[in-house]
Amino acid sequence: MEGRSDGQWGSIADCRTVCLEVNFENGRMTPKRILFITEGGLGDHVAMTPALRELKKSFPESFVCVFTTYRMPTDIEKKHQFEDLYPSQVEKDNSIFTSNKNVDEMYVLNRYAFKSLSGIARVKAELAVVRFLRSKKFDTVISTFPHKDRFILWSFFARAKIRVGARNQGMRWLLTVTPDIEKSRGGVVEYYCDLVRAIGATVSSTRTEYLVPESSARWADRLLQELHLDPSKRLVAVHPGASGSYKVWPVERLAALMDHMSTKLNVTVVLLKGVMDGGIVAAIQKSLRTDAIEIDCSGSIGNLAAVLKRCSLCVTNDSGPRHLAVAVGIPSLAFFRFHHDKEWDVYQAVESCATLKGVGACPVCPPDKCLDRVPEGEQFGSYCLRMVSLEDAIRKVESMLKAS
């Protein structure tokens, strides 16, 4: 089976119908054409990379496709309407999978545009997805997100012989393989690996990975050269964004941490931002006493990864960029809320990969659940996230930079 080429990135109209290849070994079907149906979060996609790698190692002749419903930000969403499945340039540059050698093909669905449809238009859109999946003739479909009934229905109507998904969900009776797994038990990385174990893959490593595209590496080198940074100082990246304001460590503390690093630790701090981070970055800038170097990586995960690769440390919230930093192999520090570490604090606790979490009881949430409540009058940071003090962060950053 040939690897991916530029011609394989296309719409329903130009995708090729491929013959179904099914082998049986020891009475068990060996997957040949495998589809992952997933959503478009950066963190989840990074967490999927070990499963994809180990799947390809276990079944090297298999053809692996990722089909993702992309969580487009509002300003990108307005530029697109659902017509078919397509990878526009935005999605190609903004995906973990485009440089992944273990992914042979990828297709993207604009989730916002899709969900905006109703009535007959919605029915036609659903049928278009089913027709597309049937035309690709997958023998195995892995629905990676539990409780997404649409994913299970798509896999069923795609006529895949093997349909995989977690047992604890409503439409599991349409699946053929239902491992008893949950993200909260062993974390998201193990969860995705368990899905491929369920079809016979052997998982020897859960290391995440991301290969920085050469074009992004050149972009980062050129940008940093143009900034005329002090070559004697190491770079520290701060990425303040998150999928919700309750996940953001208070911006005044982030600003104070950046000021401390810039004036006391002999490093150059760069403030990274994506398409959704303008408000957070502006709030940090208002609180800073020192000048901050902003680097806009909007629309390109490759560019973000290339800048991170050149840093000695990345400070983030519990967010996708934290997982990207780990995947490219740089030290990272992330701020976590209560309980969410069960799914997302998935890396071995070492000096180069650390988290900071609050201690003590939350005054507003039950003992076993975080309700993500932000104190009244505040814009960022849930109660438990605010338990992480500036002093805690300074001590941890200093120890990590000393060790690196």
Domain layout of the chain by residue ranges: 6-197, 214-403
Single pTM value for the model: 0.86
- Please indicate whether the domains covering 6-197 and 214-403 agree at the CATH topology level: yes
| Range of 119-128, 143-152, 157-166 with top mean pLDDT | 157-166
* Mean pLDDT, range 57-76, rounded to an integer: 78
The band of 298, judged by pLDDT with boundaries at 50, 70 and 90, is: confident
Q: What is the CATH number of domain 214-403?
A: 3.40.50.2000
Task: Classify the C-alpha dihedral 242-248-251-257 as positive or negative.
Answer: negative
Residue 154 has pLDDT above 80, yes or no: yes
- State the Cα–Cα distance between residues 41 and 398, nearest whole angstrom: 31
Q: Which residues contact 203 (CB under 8 A, 6 or more apart)?
A: 50, 51, 54, 193, 196, 197
375 sits in the region (left: phi over 0; alpha: psi -120 to 50; else beta) called beta
The vertex-81 CA angle with 242 and 113, nearest 5°, equals 50
The vertex-72 CA angle with 346 and 354, nearest 5°, equals 20
- The pLDDT tens digits for 163-176 are 999 998 888 899 99
Q: For residue 46, which of 328, 314, 307 has the smallest C-alpha distance?
A: 328
Number of Cα atoms under 13 Å in the Cβ half of residue 347:
25
Residue 261 has pLDDT above 90, yes or no: yes
Decide which of 3.40.50.2000, 3.30.360.10, 1.10.3720.10, 3.30.1280.10 is the CATH code for 6-197.
3.40.50.2000
Q: For residue 80, which of 106, 105, 99, 108 has the smallest C-alpha distance?
A: 108
Q: Give the model's pLDDT for residue 74.
A: 42
Locate tokens 């005054």: which residue?
363
Q: Give the model's pLDDT for residue 78.
A: 38
The band of 24, judged by pLDDT with boundaries at 50, 70 and 90, is: very low
Collapsing DSSP to helix, strand or coil, 42 comes out as helix
Number of Cα atoms under 13 Å in the Cβ half of residue 247:
18
Alpha carbon 319 to its chain's center: 8
The vertex-118 CA angle with 113 and 120, nearest 5°, equals 115
Token digits of residue 25: 């070994």
